[in-house]
């Protein structure tokens, strides 16, 4: 009960970049948490400690290089938790899906995110609008707080 009340008053989000152009990360860090949208006024904070996180926000196409790290970060986040996949790269590989040359997609990309860890909320777009990212985070908060 106490944990539930505390969570309602303080939600921590961990942002993990898994490959891509960083456009989605800019929208999260420099827009959603900017003074304009100011997610912190609603007691939603960024953290870089998975043990402190409630919601994992994942951007990027998930390269094979970061696949195992993403899985480990997900496992370290305590239950109940939620995952928000942000951007077309995270949802379906985006512009990186069909990378050609000697390194074909199967040699380079392990994603989309839902191939690696369970995804609760999907936010499409390249890059998604801050309003859509906030709406996705709100859906994830409902899952974390209400179970």
Q: Which residues of the shown chain bind ligand SF4 in the complex (CB under 6 A)? A: 20-21, 23-24, 59-60, 87-89, 94-95, 126-127
Q: Which is nearer to ligand SF4, 39 or 88 (CB)?
A: 88
| Token pair in block for residue 75 | 């496992």
> Smallest gap, in angstroms, from Cβ of residue 100 to ligand SF4?
17
Assigned token pair, 142: 């409902």
Of the pair 19, 144, the CB lying nearest ligand SF4 is at 19
Please state the closest distance from residue 99 (CB atom) to ligand SF4, in A.
12
**Cβ proximity to ligand SF4, 50 vs 87, nearer residue:** 87
Minimum Å gap between C-beta 52 and ligand SF4 is 25
- The pair of structure tokens assigned to 73 is 């970060």
**Helices (H), strands (E): how many in the chain?**
6, 5
- Structure-block tokens of residue 49: 């400690």
Strand partners, 11: 44
Under 8 Å between Cβ of 81 and 36 = no
Residue nearest to ligand SF4 (CB): 23
C-beta of 124: minimal distance to ligand SF4 in Å? Answer: 9
CA 42/CA 8 separation, integer angstroms? 10
């Amino acid at each position: 009960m106490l944990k539930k009340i505390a969570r309602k008053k303080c939600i921590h989000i961990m942002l993990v970049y898994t490959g891509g152009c960083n456009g989605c990360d800019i929208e999260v860090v420099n827009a959603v948490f900017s003074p304009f949208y100011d997610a912190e006024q609603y007691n939603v904070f960024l953290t870089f400690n998975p043990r402190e996180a409630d919601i994992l926000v994942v951007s990027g196409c998930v390269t094979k290089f970061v696949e195992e790290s993403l899985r480990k970060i997900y496992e370290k986040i305590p239950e109940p938790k939620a995952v928000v996949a942000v951007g077309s790269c995270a949802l379906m590989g985006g512009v990186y899906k069909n990378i050609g040359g000697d390194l074909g997609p199967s040699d380079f990309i392990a994603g989309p995110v839902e191939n690696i860890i369970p995804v609760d909320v999907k936010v499409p777009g390249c890059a998604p609008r801050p309003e859509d990212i906030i709406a996705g985070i709100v859906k994830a908060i409902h899952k974390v707080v209400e179970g």
